Structure 1
């Protein structure tokens, strides 16, 4: 029922409270009406007072009203009705249900193609078991829930298609695993692997199919390795050790930027290489090209590194000296305005962009720059403290003025009989209280800044 149909709600002293409620995207409404004073005359209803007032309590969402609690005035019998089985706890139950639906929406969004049909069906039943309060937020969540399920179904259908493709790849792998044409079959497995990676997720069958494919490939590789293992075990061992040396050089170049330390290591690896001997005619040239190529690359990079580093140090130092001069010019103006403040901040950003200036100069030049900056920021700090003191004094005067105005309005309201004028004065009191609260927050913030 609509609270506006209540007999007596529109009386002069009815108290109507409307509060927005974000959880279900609607409003909570409370109407206190029908209060009588000790002489049996209508009076302003006050919550908690024994003035015989009635109370209508409910919600509005999507233009629809729902009564939750309705206690009639004592003059009308004082009977109480409940709009739901949850009685006084209806709003709490509504909030819980709406949040539950939101959680289910998020859960469904996280579902993937491999999510089981049982889990999907369970979440649908969980949704259906939640009471529908017919609020705007529930309508929104229902659309979200349905859309997520539709997208999930599309992904599951695609997963079925992918599973068919991967089943065919597994079948081909099974056919290839016993082949003894090693080179061609190895290439064929590489192609199957590429096709597998290009194919999307296969849903619930993904792991099972992958294990079958991997097992077939593993069996082929095992047989291939066993075949070649006995051809030339000694040369194979030399080849492995030389490959390890190549890997050591390559990894060291990737991880170690200390060219001085790495130079002595290069000499050590070269001696190890000579001591190993031959890995066989088919591998020797290829292995040497890889090893020596990595060494020559290192020597070239080392030369270029030190040349470039020294140039960067010089460039960085020159840029930092220029920034210090700019900072000194700003400080010399004595101007602490927004423009100069922004310039000082930008100098810090520019300083970071100049990079490292070398062990000899980096710390020294930074201390010089920092000393100039501190002159500006200390002056800025002192100026801000003075400004905060002035603003604080103004805010405290404003707060005192608002308190007096509120007290006066609260006294005046009891002298007024006109209903509309009473409500207007109450609105003024509310506005000024809001202003006072914000002013108190501002005062506290200013005090924190001053401390």
Structure 2
């Protein structure tokens, strides 16, 4: 008989393994020496140990699902319990028990992580809903519309909650967007009505202007044209394409009249040329206001130049378009500066930008704290996941801060 600390082979070739409960038959060996039999069954033991090593590594270093891990453990445990190997089978069983405990621990950790992620998602979606409901009352149509579209993208990036909660929050979110869309639609429908009313008023002004085009009653007609121009400015704007067409007819009729008057008063040509020179000098002053450094000063300067411009009087017709184009360019620059200043100082937009920046700063700090905690636990997988989330939040924070800088904040 040949023996080993963990097993033996009797004279008939029966192989036994020693356990705490006593010896157990693991096989029979007839093809070689007893030493070869023990070597064979020891290798089977080593094979089981290697399988456990590999499974242990998978459990600790991969995202192997707990259910799959437990199935694999039970499969190996069956082989250990059957005992067709020579070695410390109890030690293998203890390793499997420890591995089961590790899997259960990781299962609980995953469960806690999922619960935490759900809670964070619930909070984030509540914030999105509340912001959407605030935006639903906004009259900043473009900015609020853009922000609501951005909120939809953020919503899609968040994980789903339980069906009831998710549906309730989405209903509120969707309702807020619909309410804003209805208000915006009603607003622009009102604008369309105003533009139609402006079109009708301006059409009447055009018809009267065209009726006066052949008049030779120079003084009263010119006065009436000035009144028509004031009425035109007070009428509001029609749709752009209609506005341009009506304006062309309106100005065209006046051009016909003033051209005829200019022909009659040809002797005034010299005076008009002088007027042209005076307006060209004013244009130099007006264009010197650009680029605008001080909006208030520029507006006051332009207003004073406009008054002097109007006081100068007519210039030759062929010079008028170029002169007016240059003056209008300065006017457009001032209007654009006014719009930019309004946008820059808009407290509502600034408050939204500050609020979003604050939320993102808090989110970044929270993720950094979570990463530190995960590092202390040695949870590399958790660290990698949180660092990926942190990079995304930091990118959003950088964008938010850049937008806030445009408000001077």
Relative to the length of structure 2, the TM-score reads: 0.32
* The structure with more helix, counted as a fraction of residues: 2
Bigger Rg, structure 1 or 2: 2
